[in-house]
Structure 1
Amino acid sequence: MAVQPTNLPKTLTLESYIDQKQFDELPEKGRHIIGQFDDDSIVVYQAYSPPIANYAVEHQHFGGSNFSFDRMSWVKTSFVWMQYRCGWNTKPKQERTLAVRIKREAFDYIVSIAVGSRFIEEYHGTKENYEKIKKQSEVRRQWDPDYAPNLEFKRLERRAIQLGLRGSILRRYATEWIVSIEDITPYVEEMRQRLQDTKDPMSLWVPVERVYKEEKEVVYN
């Protein structure tokens, strides 16, 4: 079994990637919300610059002079997708990964009002109507390919959810619905270094993630 990390996150439960591959039954295909959750909360991930991350951890909510409430902010429930996006915290202005635990009822509400990121004629009618719906909505939903962890990530057939928040929903997420915020960058950097040293993703420890909700039917709105 892979050696347990030295920089263990305080708010996440980890397991070896070997165990996750061998004993878990995560779906290989389809649209699924997969993440770490309990009865009351679910973890979403965001990557930010040090000033934004420092403020968020210190105050346990987002804000300060470097954080903008006027632009869309994206959250992800898949840890590996987050690392794919930020390059294991190597990309500019994404040097810090935050594990943000939010209330489940808040997350469920966010998902329930999300508008899909693509136009579907049989539901929306016209592109003009779809653009109107998008403009009015404060939550955007995208289903993107999920990934297996590595320095060169392997794209999976399974789709992972991204949720873009703006307006009053972003403000409520950032200031009201958060249970805790932890900067897990030391753990992320340790896992990145393992990949550089071993070239083997089986040396990793990753957050325990399970299916939170399956998208059984296409959601058109």
Structure 2
Amino acid sequence: MMRTREIRARHDRDSITVYQAYAPEIGGPAAEHGTFVPPFSRHRMTWIKPSFLWLMARSDWARKSGQQTILAVRISREGWEEALSLAVPTDPDHRVFRSSDEWRRRFAQAVVHVQWDPERSLHGRKLEARSIQIGLSRHIIDRYVDDWILSIEDQTPLAHKIHKLLKAGKTPQARALLPKERPFPLPSLLATHLGAT
């Protein structure tokens, strides 16, 4: 049984894959160049999510305006863990902070935000388990784009194929195409820092 707050992702010894959805004019060039290039903005927060199904629910299977291109962004494990170590939760979790004031102070200075959102089923239903979402502020985006990204792959055709199978009632075939995500091992100190369980 999946624990309440657990990072599940495609990962190996050196990397982890996160997902983002963009308009074609941003997503297309990113996949072509293997990193983000203009008109991608380095001056606003960008959110990365290791859960493919969470992003499918959010982007309506790459059909929402501005989210028609699904990118699988492979980043270094070192970069991912650096982002996690700098992250401050978006809510004053009593297991992480001694008081609301402590949370407010730390959140005001945070360059990385962490949010635990309901994980989604293949059909978009909210689940009890929580899925992590990491917000990278403009103060750290250069590190993400220039140092952490190893490759970017356009997963829009996969999103459309799975959605088409679901609409045809072929749930087992759709499920078989999902990226294989498994628990990401967190050092205990980092898990406490993030409010993971």
**How high is the TM-score relative to the length of structure 1?**
0.79
Structure 2 counterpart of 1:60: 34
- Deviation per CA, 1:70-89: give whole Å up to 9, x if none: 21100000111111111100
Shift of 1:36: 0.4
Of 53-62 and 70-79, more deviation after overlay is shown by 53-62
Gaps of 5+ in 2: none
In 2, are the aligned partners of 1:143 and 1:161 still within 8 Å (CA)?
yes
1:115 aligned residue: 88
- Paired AA for residue 202 in structure 1: P
Residue type of the partner of 1:170?
I
Displacement of 1:177: 0.9
Matches within 5 A, 1:13-28: 27-28=1-2
Q: Secondary structure at the match of 2:139?
A: helix
**Identity in percent:** 36
Q: Distance in 2 between matches of 1:220 and 1:105?
A: 17
Q: Aligned-residue CA RMSD in angstroms? A: 2.1
Tell me: higher relative CO, structure 1 or 2? Use CA pairs within 8 A at least 6 residues apart. 1
1:28 Cα deviation after fit? 2.8
When the two structures are aligned, how many residues end up with a matched partner?
A: 190
User: Which is higher, the Rg of structure 1 or of structure 2?
Assistant: 1
* Deviations, residues 124-176 of structure 1 (Å, cap 9, x unaligned): 5344x5333222111000111111112xx122111110000012321211222
For structure 1, which segment, 46-55 or 118-127, has the greater mean C-alpha deviation from structure 2 after superposition?
118-127
CA deviation string 1:47-98 (max 9, x = no partner)? 000010112112211120x211121100000111111111100111000100
Cα separation, 2, equivalents of 1:59 and 1:100: 12
User: Any residues of structure 2 matched to 1:115-134 within 5 Å, and which?
Assistant: 115-120=88-93, 123=97, 125-127=99-101, 129-134=102-107
Counterpart CA distance in 2 for 1:145 and 1:218 is 19
1:185 counterpart = 2:156: yes
